[in-house]
């Protein structure tokens, strides 16, 4: 499979009133053509900042202090402003979280959808609008020809997210970055949007980076999953690896706090105790150690490297070190392991 995007050792800092916040502390990953990579983590773990760095859409006080972002082998961080403008909305585009606020309230949706075409392609306004209408139909806006001249406030939340998606795909991007596209929507609409994204991926063959804090959503859409905590990846692998053979205690915590059909009535929902570290002064060792019931002394002292679990499955925890003591994960995780073994690593 061809790697179309490769992020190497990305570091992002934010200059704040209180000092420099090291929001991203060495993130590396790649995206293969046609696949969907999900990045999961709690709020503030740096998921959005990671993907915004790709398009260089960081807030003014944010700087990429180190790293490379290779798009077809070209480092995007070396591109000029003009060259980046040519890539945004054309080769790589983005779907935003809140459809209620991400559309321009004073512009007709037809014009908003046609805009990327007018910026990047040498097309007439008429052709661009015609194409915008087709794309609106593709994303499931009923009767698009009649609604081209309507304004965002005349659409429901789900429809608006479809319009935001239409804007992102109108120029057939190679990479689609979806930054929590379903978080602001209610559950039935969430499912529709996920189905739509999967369908569009089939039709236009785009690769997707999908950001979410909702593991339920991940299972439905991703090929590979990366789990993020405090500005770093802690574990990444295929969906099966992450859901049924998780190795990092943080991944265990995340999976355990997700209610399943087996969750007994009346039982308490699990949660991970404590709060993420303050990234003004990032910890020396594993950032998750203070909240980790399985933490060892070395976790406090030294950042664990990635240990290979299986092909394409890596986790950054000292528990995988040959000298580490064997630990028993929580009961829910043991059930997942059992399922994984029973089905020979092929759970789906």
Binding site for another protein (CB under 8 A): 55, 57, 81-82, 85-90, 93-94, 96, 98, 101-107, 115-116, 119-120, 151, 153-155, 164, 167
**Distance (Å, rounded) from C-alpha 124 to C-alpha 132?**
12
**Distance (Å, rounded) from C-alpha 60 to C-alpha 116?**
23
Minimum distance from CB of 97 to another protein (Å)? Answer: 8
- Identity of the residue, 100 or 191, whose beta carbon is nearer to another protein in the bound complex: 100
- Identity of the residue, 97 or 201, whose beta carbon is nearer to another protein in the bound complex: 97
Minimum distance from CB of 147 to another protein (Å)? Answer: 10
- Is the CB of residue 212 less than 8 Å from the CB of residue 183? yes
Minimum distance from CB of 25 to another protein (Å)? Answer: 24
- Identity of the residue, 87 or 315, whose beta carbon is nearer to another protein in the bound complex: 87
Minimum distance from CB of 5 to another protein (Å)? Answer: 16
- Identity of the residue, 167 or 319, whose beta carbon is nearer to another protein in the bound complex: 167
- Identity of the residue, 24 or 167, whose beta carbon is nearer to another protein in the bound complex: 167
Rounded to whole angstroms, the maximal C-alpha distance in the chain is 68
Minimum distance from CB of 314 to another protein (Å)? Answer: 30
- Identity of the residue, 114 or 226, whose beta carbon is nearer to another protein in the bound complex: 114
Minimum distance from CB of 171 to another protein (Å)? Answer: 9
Q: How many CB atoms lie within 10 A of CB 319?
A: 20
Minimum distance from CB of 207 to another protein (Å)? Answer: 17
Distance of CA 200 to the CA centre of its chain: 17
- Identity of the residue, 82 or 268, whose beta carbon is nearer to another protein in the bound complex: 82
- Identity of the residue, 173 or 304, whose beta carbon is nearer to another protein in the bound complex: 173
Minimum distance from CB of 114 to another protein (Å)? Answer: 10
Mind spelling out the 3-state secondary structure of the chain? Answer: CCEEEEEEEEEEEEEECCEEEEEEEEEEEEEECCCEEEEECCCCCCHHHHHHHHHCCCCCCEEEEEEEEEECCEEHHHCCHHHHHHHECCCEEEECCCCCCCCCCCCCHHHHHHHHHHHHCCCCHHHHHHHHHHHHHHCCCCCHHHHCCCCHHHCCHHHHHHHHHHHHHCCCCCEEEEECCCCCCCHHHHHHHHHHHHHHHHHHCCEEEEEECCHHHHHHHCCEEEEEECCEEEEEEEHHHHHHCCCCHHHHHHHHCCCCCCCCCCCCCCCCCCCCCCCCCCCCCCCCHHHCCCCCHHHHHCCCCCEEEECCEEECCHHHCCCCCCCCCCHHHHHHHHHHHHCCCCCC
- Identity of the residue, 84 or 258, whose beta carbon is nearer to another protein in the bound complex: 84
Minimum distance from CB of 153 to another protein (Å)? Answer: 5
């Amino acid at each position: 499979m061809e790697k179309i995007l490769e992020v190497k050792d990305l570091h992002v800092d934010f200059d704040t009133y209180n000092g420099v916040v090291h929001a991203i502390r060495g993130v590396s990953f790649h995206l293969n053509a046609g696949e969907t990579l999900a990045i999961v983590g709690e709020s503030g773990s740096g998921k959005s900042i990671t993907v915004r760095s790709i398009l260089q859409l960081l807030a003014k006080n944010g700087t990429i202090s180190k790293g490379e972002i290779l798009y077809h082998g070209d480092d995007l961080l070396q591109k000029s402003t003009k060259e980046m403008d040519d890539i945004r909305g054309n080769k790589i585009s983005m779907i935003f979280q809140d459809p209620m606020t991400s559309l321009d309230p004073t512009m007709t949706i037809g014009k908003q959808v046609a805009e990327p075409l007018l910026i990047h392609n040498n097309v007439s306004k008429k052709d661009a609008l015609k194409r915008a209408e087709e794309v609106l139909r593709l994303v499931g806006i009923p009767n698009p020809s009649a609604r081209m001249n309507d304004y965002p406030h005349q659409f429901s939340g789900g429809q608006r997210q479809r319009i935001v998606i239409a804007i992102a795909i109108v120029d057939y991007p190679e990479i689609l970055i979806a930054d929590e596209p379903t978080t602001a929507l209610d559950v039935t609409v969430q499912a529709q949007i996920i189905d739509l994204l999967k369908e569009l991926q089939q039709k236009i063959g785009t690769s997707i980076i999908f950001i979410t804090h909702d593991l339920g959503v991940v299972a439905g859409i991703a090929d590979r999953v990366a789990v993020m905590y405090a500005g770093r990846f802690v574990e990444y692998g295929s969906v099966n690896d992450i859901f049924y053979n998780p190795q990092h205690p943080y991944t265990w915590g995340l999976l355990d706090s997700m209610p399943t059909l087996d969750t007994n009535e009346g039982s308490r929902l699990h949660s991970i105790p404590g709060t993420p570290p303050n990234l003004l002064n990032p910890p020396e060792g594993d950032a998750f150690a203070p909240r980790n019931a399985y933490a060892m002394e070395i976790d406090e002292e030294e950042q664990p490297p990635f240990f290979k679990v299986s092909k394409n499955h890596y986790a950054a925890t000292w528990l995988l070190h040959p000298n580490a003591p064997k630990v028993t994960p929580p009961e829910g995780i043991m059930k997942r392991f059992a399922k994984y073994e029973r089905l020979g690593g092929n759970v789906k």
